[in-house]
């Protein structure tokens, strides 16, 4: 079917534009995966309390908390490697000892 009038041509181009936009942008949205997680009762209670306060779902709160935890772990890893780099570059024995102690705390805890 070929467009016979300019208006038909615009409609056809609009449909093509929508298809291109969908394929380029909408298809890139991250796919969600349903995951079942069992939470201890005291954690579930806190999650529901946060969700009620934020006026959102408990699932959204869980996702936000997981994302925050992942970011925190990545920051901790970055800090660890930054300290290791400082340790290799430092010539001051007191500074090296302080960095070693901090790295030990990060690795083994207090």
42 and 26 in a common domain: no
26 and 79 in a common domain: no
Residue 2 pLDDT greater than 70, yes or no: no
Task: Report the first-to-last Cα separation within the chain, whole angstroms.
Answer: 75
Residue 3 pLDDT greater than 60, yes or no: no
- Tokens describing residue 3: 């467009």
87 and 54 in a common domain: yes
Residue 54 pLDDT greater than 80, yes or no: yes
Residue pair 86/70 in contact (Cβ under 8 Å)? The answer is no
Domain span at residue 20 reads 1-31
Which letter does DSSP use for residue 65 in this model? H
pTM across the whole model: 0.63
pLDDT band for position 88 (cuts 50, 70, 90): very high
What pLDDT score does 80 carry?
94
92 and 60 in a common domain: yes
């Amino acid at each position: 079917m070929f467009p016979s009038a300019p208006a038909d041509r615009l409609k056809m181009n609009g449909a093509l534009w929508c298809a291109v936009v969908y394929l380029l942008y909408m298809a890139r949205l991250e796919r969600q995966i349903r995951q079942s997680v069992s939470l201890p009762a005291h954690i579930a209670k806190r999650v529901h309390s946060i969700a009620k306060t934020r006026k959102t779902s408990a699932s959204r709160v869980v996702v936000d908390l997981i994302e925050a935890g992942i970011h925190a772990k990545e920051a901790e890893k970055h800090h660890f490697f930054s300290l290791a780099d400082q340790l290799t570059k430092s010539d001051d024995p007191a500074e090296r000892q302080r960095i070693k102690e901090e790295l030990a705390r990060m690795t083994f805890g207090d």
